[in-house]
Amino acid sequence: MQQVGKPVTGKEFIGRGKELALLMEYMKMGQSVVLVAPRRFGKTSLVLEALSRLKKQNYYTAFVDVFTNPTLDLLSKAITEEVLKNHKLHKHFISAKNSATAMVQNIKLKAVLDDFQFIIGFADPSKNQWELLAESIDFVDAFGKKHKTKMICAYDEFGDIKKFDPKGDLVKLFRSKIQQQSNTTYIFSGSYETVMQNMFVSSKAPFYRLARIIHLEYMEKGVLVANLAKKSKELEIKLSAKYIEEIVGLCQCHPYYSQLAFQQLVLFNTLNGRIPDLGELTEYLLSAEKDYLEKVWEDISNNREYVHTLVTIAENGQNIYKRLKPKNINVARATKKLEGMGLLFRDDVKGYYISDPLLQIWIKNNI
């Protein structure tokens, strides 16, 4: 299969050796971590691989995707289900959660209910959702303590909490609960650097000094080249070493785009009976990502400073202050905001550059 876009673990997980080792050591030390990178940089795969390995070392684990659970009800249910997975009770909870009678009569759930009565509240429509969520957050730590096992809990896209918690009450609830826990270590991952810094790094942040920050960079070139060479050999597609390196170079070692490029190469070869040249492959990539790229641009296009800054950097990341001066752009403000959104990176040699290589090409071609 040449499927891309979904998290991978096990044999499909490649690279990130240093980041994985660092993340796991922090977990074993009981040190919570914040993992920051733009979307599709492999954060979720890294977290799931770490949890998978830690589970084999007899840790309890929980993985909660905040992005797909954007209400108090969904979030509290997701947390509880993930904790129950450690005893393979989540399916019983899912099937019985709408009926208190069904829960009480479920023999496998009964032992848990005796210790954690709050779970019955999921079957009560009148139950206060904030109370349920608060008890679910406590459940993460208490369940591990009850069974004398350390818990590792990951909240993926944790920054998305801000989207349905404009006043910050939910963040305060998490902080008040987590800072009292002693048996659980947390991984918080997020795509928006500004949001995550405001939550964890700033001296006024609610989670100030709670966690260590790990920034994910692009993948190692050698790892991607070796992986694509292996895949092409398995599919009996003859690709020169130079061509494979050109693919990785086109994608600038971006983990998602490198895999997508190979998928589109296979598709082109199947439909046309030959390997695409680099220009043809680029067009296939742009076509595959058209909706996504247009949505990214739509989200920032109403801001004049963002538009001019990105267009200028797409051409060249050097001397942007001088080049944007005639347009009366506050470059410092624009670049800081765009970095915080995960759209820009900065390098001492290259200057500023767009983190998404296809977005850079798309801007050059269309704007």
For residue 118, the 8-state DSSP code is: G
Judged against a pLDDT cut of 90, whether residue 97 lies above it is answered with: no
CA distances in angstroms from 226 to 26, 94, 229, 263, listed in the order given: 29, 42, 5, 16
The answer to whether 123 and 97 have CB atoms below 8 angstroms apart is: yes
Does domain 10-215 fall into CATH 3.40.50.300? yes
Q: Could you tell me if residue 326 is left (phi over 0), alpha (psi between -120 and 50 degrees) or otherwise beta?
A: alpha
Q: How many CB atoms lie within 10 A of CB 362?
A: 22
Query: What's the count of helices (H) and strands (E) in the chain, helices before strands?
Result: 18, 7
Does domain 294-366 fall into CATH 3.10.180.10? no
pLDDT range class, residue 229, cuts 50, 70, 90? very high
8-22 pLDDT, tens digit per residue, is 889 889 999 999 999
Find, among 189, 177, 179, the residue nearest to 76 by Cα: 177
Read off the pLDDT of each residue in 215-244 and give the average, rounded to a whole number: 95
- The CA-based angle 44-50-54, given to 5 degrees, is 145
Q: What pLDDT is stored for residue 194 in this prediction?
A: 65
Q: Distance between CA atoms of 48 and 145, rounded to whole angstroms?
A: 23
Q: How many CB atoms lie within 10 A of CB 95?
A: 13
The domains of the chain are located at 10-215, 221-288, 294-366
Read off the pLDDT of each residue in 136-163 and give the average, rounded to a whole number: 94
